[in-house]
Structure 1
Amino acid sequence: MDRHAIPILARVLANRHELAFTDLAGMTPRFAEIAGRMVGQNGSARTVWQEWLGEQTDAAAILQALVVVNVAAPAAEATVGPRLRTRKLSTITAKPVEYLRDGAFLKGAFQMLVGDPGLGKTRILLQALAAETRGRQWPYSSDSDGAAGEPGYVLYVGHEDSAERVIRPVVVDALGGDSSRFEIIDSLEVQTRKGPRDSMFTLSPEGLEALDAKMREVRPTLMVIDPIGGHLGGADSFKDSEVRERLMPLAHLADTYGTAIVGNSHMNKDQQKAVAYRVGGAIAFYAVARAVYYVATDPAEPTRRAFFHQKGNMAELREAMGFSIVGHYLNPELGSVGVPSWDTSPVEFTLEDALRAASEGPDAHQKRETAPQTVLRTILLSRGGRAPSEEVYSLAETMGVSRRSLERAKDGIGVTSHREGFGPGSTSYWCLPAYAPSAPKAAA
């Protein structure tokens, strides 16, 4: 007899009750299986077993009955529960981290563009989409359209700007994009009992399934969702778990198809929070994104913007770039549209400087000195309040301030210029307001 069966059978004989599952602990798998099947009998069969056990005094007879049950009883159907899907690292092939055309956005990743309203975020995204349809690098300076390569295919989701009045004129007529490689997702067709019905495209399970099919079909290289917070499909943008539930599948699609997916978002109004907590509502917007970019106003030059690469989980951060929104005349019928014009001057303020200045109001650039302004003031004070302009340029350059930035700083703190002498031998001087001559001569 199985030695593990003896104490179990002793309990049965002593207590005259059916076997309980707790009695099976410690038995060999063979005996546990036999006893378990007997205990598992239901209804009248279970009652018969109870009565029979109550009449037995021979442990060997009970064990023999259990063996009979094992032979006669049909095998229980196997139940399939939830299973983990796993991959061994040995089956995974490494892939390089790449920027799309060595530009700003990461291939195969979800990323965010953030900034206050009215700074030109949508316009620079439209410019990026237009450039991609022509195989050009983005962003690029106003002096060059960037090196052209194999054109890409782009998808755009957005309902705030008119396709006819904004998207088409900006992308095609102003920026020269290829309209045949630019596809706008207008809506999501849903099948109902009454037939197909159009609804707004969102990152709902149905929307993500349809997006997967579209991406499999066209293999987009760049996709923009503008604004990302308006396409969450009923998820609360301030609840981290709900936002993640929408963004994680989107990030998976970006990785699967090698697409750079960019979500556009306003900054929230809580100016006391750190930069990471000002992206939309929940921290998930910032956390799920593999890269986060910000657009902010130059504190010293309100018409100039800066494009900051603030977060980068997959690759090193790129340098900030400056740009302005300039008018581009199309024709008498369409008039002019605003497009980004990138400059080559260095961005000599930080994102935190820009956000702090913005929180202080539209005149913040007059209340707070920028780094170039401080450098200029220091140089002039060290020279008694005035100095030859060429000497100022030279000293500022050794301190990392460019000629153009110095000239902007000059206007920002009210520095005046005047020329002493006449002809080729004359010298141009820069003066702080308090040290300017009472009757300045012709300005340089």
Structure 2
Amino acid sequence: MGRGTGAQLPARPGSGIAVKRVHITWADSIAPEPVTWAWSGSLEPLYEGSEDSDGIGPESSESSGRIAAGTIAIAAGPEGVGKSSFGITIAALVSTGRLHGAWFGTPRTVLYAAVEDSWAHTLVPRLMAAGADLARIGRFEVVSDEDLAATLSLPHDNDLFEAAISDHDVALVVLDPLMSLVSDRIDTHREREVREALDPLAKIADRTKAVILGIAHWNKGSGSDISARITGSGAFKNVPRAIFGFGRDPESLDGGCVMTQSKNSLGRSDLPSIRYRIESATVGTPHGDAHTGRLVVLGVSDRSLAEILATANSGEKGKGRAEKLTPAQEFILTYVQAYGDAHGEVASRDLLTQGAIEGFKENDLSKARNAMRNLVGTRKTGTDGGWNWFLTDEGVNAQSGNAAAA
């Protein structure tokens, strides 16, 4: 069998069409490589102090890879649910070598291109609250011949973009929001045009082995397909190798939200969803305190964002409202009702200790509480990281109904 690399056809004189040629690379000359996971696991470095942390631990990168080095990833959701805070969090972890994956233990450089937020008032305080190494995070801008700062425009500025990544050995680039950095000459609702920006971006990621994380907004649709909710053409969900959806959990009593990975082209599709919330934080500056927010991981969610959206769309009761209680859930309700203090609260550590005596595993009790957050609420106590559990109004009514039925 012939093994030539290809043939070249001449362009017609005066056609203005660039000369092209076929280039064939035979598969037996391509060395196979394993996937290098830039992020694997479930943000374990942020679990410290979480009420659910005992049930979660780091998994091997082979089984829990989420974002591969050298690829594009998208974080999408409606306004105000922390998708930009997720970008800040990942940037902070990469800059300090705390992100579980191939770069763990090795602080790496991050570039951040932001269009909507102020660096002085918003981004730097958020990075400080997230524990970032500010010396390793660079504000990415392009500058004109007159030294005037301009917004990055893709694909027009691709050469400058790739050179910056290579010159500074960058591991992560955050584009927030991605659509605002796509050239205004491209119709972002046309697949073919959007690919003119995203396909070259994917090749830049592959050549530099950097992760390019784009922040995106949701459209006004109401479906439960997280990837399909991304504003713009289908290319925004087809080109990235990983997509994460962010949204509120309407049944959460503590402002909880859920992050679900809806696409993982190079890894598992059944990785657990992460429960989190955005908490206020204060950081000191030379001009006084700055008040900002930070993403706090609460643990693994018992249901995915897709399930939450489907429940909201159908009007059916959510998973956390199941009528039939498990033995672990019945124990929790009975214990809190029997031993609650003047405010109806019990220390979670006391409940978990008694539960172990009665044969319940701590992880099972934590999961049981998570599955009935409409019945049992939680409150953090003081600065020692302790948590109290209490019956919500619905939980009190449920227990009263059970007692009456008995």
- Output the TM-score relative to the length of structure 2: 0.70
Aligned residues: 324
CA distance in 2, matches of 1:270, 1:215: 36
1:221 aligns to what SS in structure 2?
strand
Residue identity over aligned pairs, in percent, reads 21
Identify which of structures 1 and 2 has the higher relative contact order when contacts are C-alpha pairs closer than 8 Å and 6+ apart.
2
Letter in 2 for 1:163: W
- Within 5 Å, give how 1:1-400 maps onto structure 2: 81-103=19-41, 104-137=66-99, 149-171=105-127, 173-189=128-144, 198-205=149-156, 207-234=157-184, 235-272=186-223, 274-301=225-252, 303-317=255-269, 318-331=271-284, 333-344=288-299, 346-356=300-310, 368-376=316-324
CA distance in 1, matches of 2:334, 2:110: 54
Q: Shift of residue 212 of structure 1?
A: 1.3
CA distance in 1, matches of 2:104, 2:326: 45
CA distance in 1, matches of 2:86, 2:363: 33
Name the structure with the higher helix share. 1
User: Where does structure 1 differ by over 6 angstroms across 4 or more consecutive aligned residues?
Assistant: 386-391, 393-401
Give yes or no for contact 2:115–2:180 (8 Å, CA) kept in 1: no
CA distance in 2, matches of 1:406, 1:351: 14
Unaligned runs of at least 5 residues, structure 1: 1-78, 140-146, 361-366, 418-430, 439-444
Q: Shift of residue 180 of structure 1?
A: 1.7
Q: CA RMSD in A?
A: 3.5
For residues 418-439 of structure 1, what are the alpha-carbon distances to aligned partners after superposition, in whole Å with 9 as ceiling and x for unaligned?
A: xxxxxxxxxxxxx44545569x
Unaligned runs of at least 5 residues, structure 2: 1-16, 42-65, 337-353, 377-391
Give yes or no for contact 2:244–2:259 (8 Å, CA) kept in 1: yes
Letter in 1 for 2:114: G
**Structure ID, larger Rg:** 1
Q: Shift of residue 271 of structure 1?
A: 1.2
Q: Which moved more, 1:294-303 or 1:117-126?
A: 294-303
CA distance in 2, matches of 1:219, 1:203: 20
Q: Shift of residue 88 of structure 1?
A: 2.5
1:85 aligns to what SS in structure 2?
coil
CA distance in 1, matches of 2:395, 2:80: 31
Q: Which moved more, 1:282-291 or 1:395-404?
A: 395-404
Letter in 2 for 1:159: V
Q: Which moved more, 1:351-360 or 1:214-223?
A: 351-360
